[in-house]
Structure 1
């Protein structure tokens, strides 16, 4: 019984060694893979900034491709505020100073005990 097990193992090892040998036959490689697209996004265009000094306020105008889309108004007396054209139709809506006292952090309740 031991002898037949040993012979079976030897035959198995010999056949595996024979199957593993390379006879110099190599399959040709396929075409090279296409280059990986760059993950770097193109740089966002910088807005054109114009500062206009008036008697009662300083107005900073932001333009993209020549179109006025936002103004920051800093009055001599009072808080600064923004005028933003959200829809691109020339109508400006007032927004409070971004990042000022009106900025409220989210206060979500995730777990409550």
Structure 2
């Protein structure tokens, strides 16, 4: 008896929602169409943020291979300014020192607003 009651409740809820969705919604008279969006840039076209470094200086890159990830450390004059982490599975991400290669901590000062947190691409259209 319980299963019949549950089945009837489920069927009636499906019927009720289908009748509500079938009604057309009125459109406003002053509706303006949305502008066309430009195509998103490819991964190669996305620049890293400007850290105020001299572009003529070539960075020292230290690559450390791990079991689950590859870590690339970028230094100028011995100061760490960027870390690129490439996981075995997934997209790479960057940790940046927004102060540039001035010798500050590579994760930023917690009290500053320029803390750089790792960011991943969740979904791409």
TM-score (norm 2): 0.40
Q: Which has the higher strand share?
A: 1
The structure with higher relative contact order (CA 8 Å, sep 6+) is: 2
